[in-house]
């Protein structure tokens, strides 16, 4: 026989009223996935705010740079306009002729034209290299060279300096003012003397050709030979150096005369 259950010691559970739990809010458990989603959303919001801030600063920087460039362009335009006005403040906007000449600068009055400058320099150089001399009655280049230059064989220098007065070496107008050149010295001495001698020699030949029937031609030929002799006496070797510019018969005669005069003292030449 089974023992009888002792029902008296077992208490029935108390009935719990519904109102006992109504005052305590019960929240549903939050899942881990929802927490992670919320964290991701917060990070996305922060990134959006940060990107928005960077874009705002970039936009402000672009605006500032644009304003700076605009100010620079305006300043250049203002400077250009002011310089145009300063060049010709009296130019009118309605006159095209005045506008075209707005940039033409007038030459200062105190600037001497180049031609005047050159002429003044030439006058100064002429005053240094030459002295003036009035030709007396009966004077020729031989006599003037002996008097003013100390050697009559230097007369071709006088002719070359004054041949614009007369192409004939044997004719000088009385009372004419001629130039007396200084005697060249140094390395250019022989070159200048040779140039003057050949100039006088060619002048005699030219007059002989122009006036073939003139009674003076025989004397002109003799003087052409004599001027070559002067060149040889002043610059030994002159005939050999310039024989291509001298007729052979004139060169031969000049050599013969010069060889006889080499022994003569220069004071008597």
- Give the pLDDT confidence of 54-76 residue by residue, as tens digits: 677 777 888 888 888 888 888 88
- Tokens encoding 90: 């009296």
How is 213-251 classified by DSSP, letter by letter? T-TTHHHHHHHHHHHHHHHHHHSTTHHHHTGGGS-HHHH
- Give the pLDDT confidence of 96-150 residue by residue, as tens digits: 444 444 444 444 444 445 555 566 655 555 445 688 999 999 899 999 999 999 9
Phi-psi region of 186 (alpha: psi -120 to 50; beta: other; left: phi over 0): left
CB-CB neighbours of 102 under 10 Å: 14
- Does this model's pTM top 0.75? My answer is no
């Amino acid at each position: 026989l089974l023992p009888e259950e002792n029902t008296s010691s077992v208490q029935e559970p108390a009935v719990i009223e519904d109102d006992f739990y109504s005052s305590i809010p019960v929240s549903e458990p939050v899942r881990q996935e929802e927490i992670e989603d919320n964290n991701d959303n917060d990070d996305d919001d922060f990134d959006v705010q940060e990107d928005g801030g960077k874009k705002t600063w970039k936009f402000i920087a672009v605006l500032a740079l644009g304003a700076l460039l605009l100010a620079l362009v305006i300043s250049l335009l203002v400077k250009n306009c002011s310089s145009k006005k300063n060049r010709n403040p009296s130019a009118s906007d309605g006159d095209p002729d005045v506008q075209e000449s707005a940039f033409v600068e007038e030459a200062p009055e105190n600037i001497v034209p180049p031609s005047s400058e050159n002429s003044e320099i030439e006058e100064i150089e002429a005053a240094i290299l030459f002295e003036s001399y009035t030709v007396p009655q009966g004077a020729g280049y031989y006599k003037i060279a002996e008097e003013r230059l100390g050697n009559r064989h230097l007369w071709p220098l006088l002719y070359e300096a004054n041949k614009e007065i007369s192409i004939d070496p044997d004719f000088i107008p009385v009372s004419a003012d001629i130039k007396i050149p200084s005697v060249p010295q140094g390395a250019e001495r022989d070159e200048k003397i040779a140039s003057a001698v050949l100039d006088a020699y060619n002048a005699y030949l030219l007059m002989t050709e122009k006036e073939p029937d003139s009674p003076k031609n025989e004397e002109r030929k003799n003087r052409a030979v004599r001027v070559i002799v002067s060149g040889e006496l002043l610059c030994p070797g002159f005939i050999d150096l310039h024989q291509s510019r001298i007729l052979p018969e004139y060169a031969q005669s000049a050599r013969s005369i010069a060889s006889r005069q080499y022994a003569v003292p220069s004071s008597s030449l």
